[in-house]
Homo-oligomer: A and B are copies of this chain.
Amino acid sequence: MRQSELFTKTSKTSPKDEEAVNAKLLIRGGFIRKMSAGVYSYLPLGFRVLEKINKIIREEMNAIGSQEMLMPALVAKEYWEKSHRWHTDIAYEFKSPFGEEFGLGWTHEEVISAIATGFISSYKDLPLAVYQIQTKFRAEPRAKSGLLRCREFLMKDLYSFHTDKEDLDRFYKKVINAYAKILKRLSIKANLTEASGGSFTKDFTHEFQVLSPVGEDTVIYCTACDFSQNKEIALVRRGYRCPKCDSEVKESPGIEAANVFRLGVRYSEPFDLKFTDKNGEKKLVVMGSYGIGPTRLMGILVELYNDAKGIQWPEAVAPYKIHLLAINKKADKVYERLKKAGVEVLYDDREVSAGEKFADSDLIGIPWRAVVSEKTGEKIELKKRGAVKSRLVSLDQLLKL
């Protein structure tokens, strides 16, 4: 992509109406644009990041045998009423011009349970798992954390259906592994954290918590082993010893990157979602639900990977792999060769100063900066974002990067 033709431009000044680092940098870099509090547009650069996150999520969801589908945002009152979730604080609810009442989908347990009744009747139909990457709506009172807490956002929600709790537990562990893989591929370090099961279940649920000063949750975690609990349920406190290994325990704010829930029969009951078991007995389907939010992950990535100059995208999610800068010299040949070789490259061919190009490159945060200038002759000056030193490489070496 030629930067001169890119829809967006960078901005030198931070937006005044944003507090969060992720929102400030993403807006300045031209990745997103704020439309109203907690509502953003994803501009071409940001959309590319989002699609890379989505691709990784899809691959890991497909790998555990779950099937992709798409549910609607318009969820009629009847669905919410069955599960007693009509008039929930978090929901945007309204009446249509024809008198129908809708709650915009902020989660889809109701919808998927209703759908599943059409396709599950015997134990032979189970287990099953379906997911979607879909837009959710939540009337968040505080929407001040950029992409970490939006009123409209992308969610990958997965729902699973089982004959019994044991089968649910097996799949539950599979999803935890899949989420761990996703986060690892995204270079996001997160603690698998026990949390409250809410009203659904006596068991703990689990959250992947990213320890970060901007987190809205609080995590009590062990400095030596994998013990980690949401403060809401933790019996130990800062200064206590770890109940698992007796090492030091610390407290930190955490950003919830993903969660997994054992729903049990919380939704199969009101929707009468039953199956006939091997003995011909009718039983309620046992369900699980699992969420990870692509747009929130994008926000987390920027919170984790930035410096005073801008963003530092991990390569797996960067909008482009190489930022090619032409300094007082055309770099069209290098650009064409890279493109031809299938390398994702943003080519700064704009007629602006070298200083502006370098500053923008640091702000946008593409992993590799390749500079073509008179100074370096046929060679290309290659630098990793965040590194101090650069090195001179040939075009062939750049192609093999």
Residues of A within 8 A of B (CB): 4-9, 11, 30, 33, 35-37, 39-44, 46-47, 50, 65, 67-76, 79, 89, 92-98, 100, 102, 111, 114-115, 118-119, 124, 128, 130, 135, 137, 139, 141, 151-152
Contact = CB atoms under 8 A, between A and B. Distances in A.
Contact of A94 (B92, B111, B119, B124): B92
Nearest to A33: B115
Contacts of A43: 69, 115
A118 B115 CA distance: 43
A351 to B, nearest CB: 8
13 contacts: A4-B124, A35-B111, A36-B76, A36-B100, A39-B72, A39-B74, A41-B72, A43-B115, A46-B69, A72-B152, A89-B97, A92-B102, A96-B151
A47 B124 CA distance: 24
A8 B8 CA distance: 42
B35 A72 contact: yes
B67 A130 contact: no
**Number of identical monomers bound together in the oligomeric complex:** 2
Contact of A73 (B37, B89, B135, B139): B135
Given A8-B119, A47-B70, 8 more contacts: A6-B67, A39-B72, A43-B115, A46-B69, A47-B69, A74-B92, A74-B137, A92-B102
Contacts of A70: 41-42, 47, 50
A119 B7 contact: yes
B68 A44 contact: yes
A38 to B, nearest CB: 9
Contacts of A6: 67
Contacts of A73: 73, 135, 137, 152
A155 B79 CA distance: 26
Given A33-B118, A89-B97, A115-B41, A152 B74 contact: yes
A40 B74 CA distance: 9
A130 B92 CA distance: 29
A97 B46 CA distance: 29
